[in-house]
């Protein structure tokens, strides 16, 4: 009788060795793939990037995002489009300049100029990163590049996923 009551008092211990093995392997895998990249691509979910063999890493400069439905500057929607077609009132008479995009980019350009005049470490760029959906037609890219050029952003860096 005494022996059986002792048996009932025993507490079962969970063996976590196998779990720890798995976590250790996961930890090593994550440490290998860890990279402290300064540039983070914030995708809207409505964008598919093209693929490229380029080796050049992106840096943190002004972002223009063109997803399947919107054009965003620095994360803010400036104008909507339908498969690369903009509303007629959003485009200038010459058919190239996108008015809301131009207004937004001029603000950034002026702010950048002011900052670079105050702090000489800040370079008054003229460079812009273009995150664009792979199916956007060239006529929209042309309009965006023209508009950016008018707002003094004439150097373009296209974002792609490394092949």
Partner 1 sequence: MAKGNDDRKKIPPLKNLNLTPLLDFVVAVIPVLLLSVNFLEYVVLDTSLPVYSDDPTAESSIEKDKQPKLGLSVAITDEGFIIAGQGGILNADGKGTLIRKMTNGSYDYLTLSDKLLDIKNKYPDEWSLIIIPEATTRFEDIVSTMDASRERLSKGEGRRVMFPNIVLGGGIL
Give yes or no for residue 9 binding partner 1 (CB under 8 A): no
Give yes or no for residue 67 binding partner 1 (CB under 8 A): no
Give yes or no for residue 93 binding partner 1 (CB under 8 A): no
4-12, 46-54, 85-93, 111-119 -> range binding partner 1 (CB under 8 A): 46-54
Residue with Cβ nearer partner 1 (69 or 156): 156
Q: What is the DSSP letter of 10?
A: P
CB 69 within 8 A of CB 46: yes
Give yes or no for residue 54 binding partner 1 (CB under 8 A): yes
Strand partners, 73: 64, 76
Give yes or no for residue 69 binding partner 1 (CB under 8 A): no
CB 144 within 8 A of CB 154: no
Q: Encoding tokens for residue 24?
A: 């250790």
d(CA 52, CA 139): 21
Residue with Cβ nearer partner 1 (27 or 87): 27
Which helix or strand (DSSP H or E) is residue 14 part of?
A: none
Torsion of CA 57, 60, 61, 65, to 10 degrees: 80
Number of residues interacting with partner 1: please give it, by CB under 8 A.
58
Binding site residues, partner 1, CB under 8 A: 13, 15-17, 19-20, 23-24, 26-27, 30-31, 33-37, 39, 41, 49-58, 96, 126, 129, 132-139, 141-142, 145-146, 149-162
């Amino acid at each position: 009788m005494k022996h059986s009551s002792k048996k009932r008092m025993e507490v079962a211990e969970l063996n976590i060795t196998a779990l720890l093995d798995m976590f250790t392997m996961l930890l090593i895998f994550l440490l290998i793939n860890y990279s402290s990249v300064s540039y983070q691509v914030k995708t809207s979910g409505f964008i598919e990037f093209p693929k490229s063999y380029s080796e050049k890493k992106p840096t943190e400069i002004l972002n223009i995002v063109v997803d399947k439905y919107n054009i965003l500057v620095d994360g803010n929607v400036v104008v909507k489009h339908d498969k690369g077609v903009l509303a007629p009132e959003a485009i200038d008479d010459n058919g190239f300049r996108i008015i809301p995009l131009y207004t937004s980019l001029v603000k950034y350009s002026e702010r950048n100029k002011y900052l670079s005049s105050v702090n000489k470490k800040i370079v008054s760029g003229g460079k812009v990163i273009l995150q664009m959906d792979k199916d956007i037609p060239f006529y929209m890219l042309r309009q965006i590049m023209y508009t950016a050029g008018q707002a003094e952003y004439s150097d373009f860096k296209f974002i792609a996923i490394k092949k």
